Amino acid sequence: MQSMDKKSAEKIAENFLQQYHSTFTIESASLEGTIWIVAAKIGLVNKQIRRISIDAHSGRILSYTDREVNNKNHVIKKSLISLSIENALRKIGDPTYEMVNQKLYEDYHCYLPDCYEYPEYLNKVLKEVFGSNYKAVVDGIKTNLKDLAEQKPVTDFLTAISK
């Protein structure tokens, strides 16, 4: 699968930011693995940095920080967890993926990347959609995150969705 270039990632970020901010400047874009991290300054007087994470293959926005994030690791882990959830659900089928996304939004007004900070939302939606079989999806997510499973934030996430 072809990875998008820097200009394409910046354009996606610009289109996204235009929806929420009248004034912004793209400061940087860097590819970290399969994720473009685009940093932008917003505001005229009180300039603040915002970061947008974009999947380099699909061009889908994975996360957006509405506050300044100094720890790039947080953004990367959030994006990787979001991709892991998506991959586990898409293995079951695209309709399942769409159903879980829709339920997350309808019940909690959140998206997959938000599940990193609010894993209990994902846990409740998976139980609602899959019943006692939700653990099969959790196992798929665990498999996708096996290389990161030793890190405390990832372990905490996996523990919370496994309850």
Domain of residue 37, CATH code:
3.10.450.630
126: domain range? 76-162
The Cα-based distances of 2 to 56, 59, 110, 137 in angstroms read 8, 11, 29, 28
- pLDDT tens figures, 98-156: 999 999 999 999 999 999 999 999 999 999 999 999 999 999 999 999 888 888 889 99
One domain, residues 93 and 157: yes
Q: What is the pLDDT of residue 71?
A: 54
Q: What is the spatial distance between Cα 41 and Cα 148, in angstroms, rounded to a whole number? A: 31
Confidence category of residue 3, pLDDT binned at 50, 70, 90 = confident
> What is the 8-class DSSP label of residue 147?
T
Confidence category of residue 2, pLDDT binned at 50, 70, 90 = low
List all residues 6 or more positions away from 60 whose beta carbon is below 8 Å from its beta carbon: 54
Exposure of 49 by Cβ count < 10 A (0-12 exposed, 13-18 middle, 19+ buried)?
A: middle
One domain, residues 90 and 55: no
Q: What is the spatial distance between Cα 111 and Cα 121, in angstroms, rounded to a whole number? A: 10
